[in-house]
Amino acid sequence: MSSKSSLLKVILLGDGGVGKSSLMNRYVTNKFDAHLFHTIGVEFLNKDLEVDGRTVTLQIWDTAGQERFRSLRTPFYRGSDCCLLTFSVDDSQSFHNLVNWKKEFIYYADVKEPESFPFVVLGNKLDVSERQVSSEEAQEWCMESGGYPYFETSAKDATNVAVAFEEAVRRVLSLEDRHEHLIPTDTVNLHRKPRSATQCC
To ligand GDP, the closest distance from the beta carbon of 137 in angstroms equals 19
Helix or strand (DSSP H, E) at 94: helix 92-96
Least distance to ligand GDP from the beta carbon of 84, Å? 11
In the 8-state DSSP scheme, what is residue 151?
A: E
> Per CB under 6 A, which of residues 82..111 are in contact with ligand GDP?
none
Q: How many CB atoms lie within 10 A of CB 145?
A: 14
Contact between 12 and 85 (Cβ < 8 Å): no
Of the ranges 47-55, 103-111, 119-127, 177-185, which one interacts with ligand GDP (CB under 6 A)? 119-127
Residues 11, 13, 34, 109: which binds ligand GDP (CB under 6 A)? 34
Which residue from 62, 66, 63, 133 is spatially nearest to 93, judged by alpha carbons?
133
Question: Taking CB under 6 A as the rule, does residue 128 contact ligand GDP?
Answer: yes
Q: What angle do CA 195, 121, 173 make, to 5 degrees?
A: 65
Considering the rule CB under 6 A, would residue 17 count as an interface residue with ligand GDP?
Answer: yes
Q: Which residue is nearest to ligand GDP (CB)?
A: 19
Residues forming the site for ligand GDP (CB under 6 A): 16-22, 34, 64, 124-125, 127-128, 154-156
